[in-house]
Amino acid sequence: MELVAENLVERRFSRARMSYGHSALAQRSIAESLVEMLPLRSVESVLEIGCGTGFLTRALLQKRTPSVLHLNDISSGFDSAFCDLQGFQDFRCVCGDAEKYSWPRQYDWVLSSSVIQWFSDFRTFVPRIAHYINDGGLLAFSTFGQKNMQEIRAVEGVGLDYFTQEDLEKCLMPNFRTLECREETIELTFDSPHKVLRHLRDTGVNALVNQLWTPSRLRRFESTYEQLFSKDGKVTLTYHPIYYVGIKI
């Protein structure tokens, strides 16, 4: 497993805040797909973990109007993206590590998109977050499977320790009953390997490749990447989202 330091993740995502909105095309699509999987009913209170610049938040608010909306992210200053939100009975932005934070209440829904793959111990997090969900409440999230960023792993030999869909469901089973769990692959194309690296930087995902880019290393990366992952004059980068929706039991 390639471990990524928490402070490095926080720094990289904080730096990418201004570029994330227009660069994270896959993450936006994933957040919108997750919202489409949510039950067709109203919801009173929502906690979103790892809200970032608001892809999931905005997609949710187009379809639901909770009275209580609490947003969390590990990156400082994220609340500036939500200055326009108003009209809630209780609206809060909480900066902190979701694996350690003690939430002020229980929620009907806890949501998260493209975040939990960064957690240090998701298995411990599951019963902990279940404590903050009302009985019969909902946990819905997206994470990534083992094909995610397979190009980077092949070229650089680094990557996160991703769950399989089956292992993810088993991990959640003691606390949640699965309503839906599915996966897909999203293949992005770029003009060059250098554009791939820029995409990783602009979305904060360069925390995966925490090494000094010397000219010789960059040439080696680009040459190997083109040899392995060229397609119709471009190069590919794979995202492998897994979606989960479950009821607390």
DSSP state, residue 51: -
Closest alpha carbon to 190 in 214, 162, 226: 226
Mean pLDDT of 57-83: 94
What whole-number percentage of the chain has pLDDT above 70?
89
Query: Which sign, positive or negative, has the C-alpha torsion 73, 75, 76, 82?
Result: negative
Q: How high is the pLDDT of residue 1?
A: 31
Q: How high is the pLDDT of residue 84?
A: 93
Domains parsed from the chain with CATH numbers? 6-248 (3.40.50.150)
Closest alpha carbon to 138 in 59, 63, 34, 51: 34
Instruction: Record the pTM.
Output: 0.90
CA–CA dist 215, 194 (Å, integer): 12
User: What pLDDT, in 10s, does the model give residues 153-172?
Assistant: 999 998 899 999 999 999 99
Q: How high is the pLDDT of residue 6?
A: 52
